Structure 1
Amino acid sequence: MVASIEDVARRAGVSIATVSRALRGLPDVAAGTRDRVLTAANELNYVASPFAARLASGRTATIGLVVPFVNRWFFAEVIATVEAELRQAGFDLLLYNLGDEDGRRRFFDEMPMRKRVDGVLVASLVLEDAEFDALTALHRPVGLLGIEREGFLSAGIDDVAAARAAVDHLVSLGHRRIGLIGGDTDDPMRFTPPLHRRDGYRHSLAAVGVEPDPDLERLGYFTVEGGRSATRSFLELPDRPTAIFAESDEMAYGAIREIYRSGLVPGEEVAVMGFDDQPFAELMDLSTVRQPVGVQAQDVTTRLLARIAGADDDDGDPRDPAVVLPTELVLRASTQGPDGASS
């Protein structure tokens, strides 16, 4: 049977509070009393609970990670990276999956992580002022992934510029009728990439005098099936697009499958550009935008832990700059010019 702190207190003839102070090495315990406590603990093979020790120190050694979804590739990569970094630092991960608008409202109204974490990471949510205020009221360091706010640590990419670079490449190949498969910009979770990548797409077309065409913008909801459905509607148009920009690789996979199903050849008859450079992108020969998801998550987690480690001495510099990491355009066989010229 594992000995408890109560067993040690009885053996030493002192209170539980005295045992706690003696084992933590606090100065307000007489030498003789400390010796009795240590002897009793050794005789009983008592091992102090790490959780109790954390509470006694005022720290939880836990970081809260808030995500809008857990069933998408981006967030799975973020969760895995953050958990690995925290484990190496001796911290635990407390994950909050908001899931829907009701879950989001409850989270920011109730702040269930209050007093349970030493810091908070929030991934790719467009936050309202009241939600930022709720995070600030925790009086814990906060890191943001994919969004920026003065006074908060943050790391991310420039989604607008990355999407524009992708569409600029299609434009450089001679494409002008370019379809967009995007996420839901009206999603109540207010996930950031659909907004920014659509802007990049539109900026690129505007630069060459192409007006937005509602027929060439479809929702794919970041799923393979969504990408297939959107592409099917494109291919049914009297004047179908010669190229497609999908805001995620999953949707691009669906586009490629639907192009093949329609008897066309991706890259030769309809170019396809994705976003992310997921592991299967190379197998699909998909041109895409490579974003360093793991590096973003690692960067903000490392700086958050550093802020926590220094919290006893200072509150850190509230003007910490946002870290913007570079993306890379990866060209493969799925992008060619409308005349069949190689990318």
Structure 2
Amino acid sequence: MSSSKTIYDVAALAGVSISTVSLALNSPARVSAETRRKVLEAVDALGFAPKPEAVAKARRGVGRIGVIAPYTSYPSVAQRLNGILRFVSHRPLEIVLFDQVSAAQSSSPLLASLPITGRLDGLIVISLPLDEVVAKRLTTLRLPTVLIDVRYPGFDAILTSDSLGGRLVAEHLIAQGHCHFAFLGETQQSSLYVSPAQQRLIGYRSALQEAGYSLAEDDVRFTLHGVEPAMNMAMELLAQEKRPTAVFASSDTLAAGVLRAARKLGLSVPDEVAIVGFDDGELAEALDLTTVRQPLEETGRAAMERLLQQLEKPTTTREVMLNLELVKRATG
């Protein structure tokens, strides 16, 4: 057969549209196995000559899934990624990772450029908020996208209730007999969205108020992400004349900083100050830290499962809420 055959000829012989032929060759995960078979049979019958790598990709049924997250900054993200990778370990998918340093920004230049530079079939966004520009681009390009730990109208999302997590901490500390409470969260660089730390504070404060307690202005502090910044801020917090007896940190990393500060000040934990974190990763286990357990790997698995469903047969987007659990250990 002549190699002058065109994509139009392939589409006609396969009984599909030109765009479907293009998807089958360039984004095979976005079409069914049967459709790929028809397109490849037409390609073979006509001697059509697309790029060799495209044909190889289509024959394997391989799709490219982008995952963007602050891997190097947040240990909890690595656990979510484990869930993603384990779910697709036996599937013909290429997982492409993109690291964004901070989750405290309103959005990301990297995230904004991914649909253009990444040649992706689908995208999972972990702990990074979308802004209107990025959301519109993803929608316009019809790039199937699932969010983890954040939400945006019209997008699939796998979530936990941060405000509920804050309530769990407050209820636990009240039950332990505490009356003077504090909160340490991550400084947010943008006011365009409500961060998980802010949501945790909202739930924490609300539950305390309902029980007849309040959070004084000096007992709510924010710091950069990291053990050392958290330790420095906690030193100020715990050195006050009227020192709080219970501190809720919005992540295990910040809680580790509070724990170091308490030890530097010679405070007994939990007798003189109780400390509770959030996430329950390896750090919490190593420090024997009381914390709120997030279903980290489960969110990764659920997000990838939902993305594959959308790639196979697009449906109305939905949000899935997973449960949290307070894990009591030695610090509070």
Corresponding residue for residue 132 of structure 2: 129
Structure-1 separation of matches of 2:172 and 2:2: 75
Counterpart pick for 1:77 among 53, 76, 79: 79
Inter-CA distance 199–69: structure 2 relative to 1 (3 Å threshold)? farther
Deviation at 1:300, TM superposition (A): 1.2
**TM-score of the superposed pair, with normalisation by structure 1:** 0.76
Inter-CA distance 83–189: structure 2 relative to 1 (3 Å threshold)? farther
Corresponding residue for residue 318 of structure 2: 321
Corresponding residue for residue 304 of structure 1: 307
The answer to whether the Cα contact below 8 Å between 1:111 and 1:134 also exists between their aligned partners in 2 is: no
Corresponding residue for residue 332 of structure 1: 329
> 3-state SS of the aligned residue for 1:75?
helix
> 3-state SS of the aligned residue for 2:247?
strand
Deviation at 1:171, TM superposition (A): 1.8
Matched, 1:224 2:211: no
Matched, 1:182 2:179: no
Deviation at 1:205, TM superposition (A): 2.1
Post-superposition Cα deviations, 1:300-343, rounded to whole Å, max 9, x if no partner, equal: 11111122123xxxx32x1x4311000111112211xxxxxxxx
User: 1:104 is matched by which residue type in structure 2?
Assistant: S
User: 2:329 is matched by which residue type in structure 1?
Assistant: R
The answer to whether the Cα contact below 8 Å between 1:98 and 1:104 also exists between their aligned partners in 2 is: yes
Structure-2 separation of matches of 1:90 and 1:188: 40
Corresponding residue for residue 200 of structure 1: 203
Corresponding residue for residue 31 of structure 2: none
> 3-state SS of the aligned residue for 2:45?
coil
Matched, 1:168 2:171: yes
Matched, 1:105 2:102: no
In the alignment, structure 2 segments of 5+ residues that lack a partner are: 11-38
> 3-state SS of the aligned residue for 1:89?
coil
Structure-1 separation of matches of 2:202 and 2:265: 29
Corresponding residue for residue 65 of structure 1: 67
Structure-2 separation of matches of 1:204 and 1:189: 25
Structure-2 separation of matches of 1:106 and 1:126: 12
Percent identical pairs in the alignment equals 28
Counterpart pick for 2:98 among 96, 99, 107: 96
Alignment of 1:133-282 (within 5 A): 133-187=136-190, 192-282=195-285
Structure-2 separation of matches of 1:147 and 1:56: 35
Deviation at 1:261, TM superposition (A): 1.8
> 3-state SS of the aligned residue for 2:309?
helix
- How large is the RMSD of aligned CA atoms in angstroms? 3.3
Matched, 1:116 2:119: yes
153-162 or 207-216, which moves further after superposition? 207-216
Q: How many residues align?
A: 299
Deviation at 1:144, TM superposition (A): 1.0
Deviation at 1:183, TM superposition (A): 0.9
Structure-1 separation of matches of 2:121 and 2:127: 20
User: 1:262 is matched by which residue type in structure 2?
Assistant: L
Structure-2 separation of matches of 1:71 and 1:187: 18
Corresponding residue for residue 42 of structure 2: 26
Inter-CA distance 63–126: structure 2 relative to 1 (3 Å threshold)? same
User: 1:176 is matched by which residue type in structure 2?
Assistant: C
Deviation at 1:132, TM superposition (A): 1.4
> 3-state SS of the aligned residue for 2:167?
helix
In the alignment, structure 1 segments of 5+ residues that lack a partner are: 1-12, 35-47, 336-343
User: 1:206 is matched by which residue type in structure 2?
Assistant: Q
Structure-2 separation of matches of 1:228 and 1:329: 23
Deviation at 1:182, TM superposition (A): 0.6
Inter-CA distance 209–185: structure 2 relative to 1 (3 Å threshold)? farther
Which of structures 1 and 2 has the bigger CA Rg? 1
Post-superposition Cα deviations, 1:137-186, rounded to whole Å, max 9, x if no partner, equal: 12121111112334322111001101111122112222221111111133
> 3-state SS of the aligned residue for 1:240?
coil
Inter-CA distance 140–283: structure 2 relative to 1 (3 Å threshold)? closer
The answer to whether the Cα contact below 8 Å between 2:149 and 2:157 also exists between their aligned partners in 1 is: yes
Structure-2 separation of matches of 1:189 and 1:79: 26
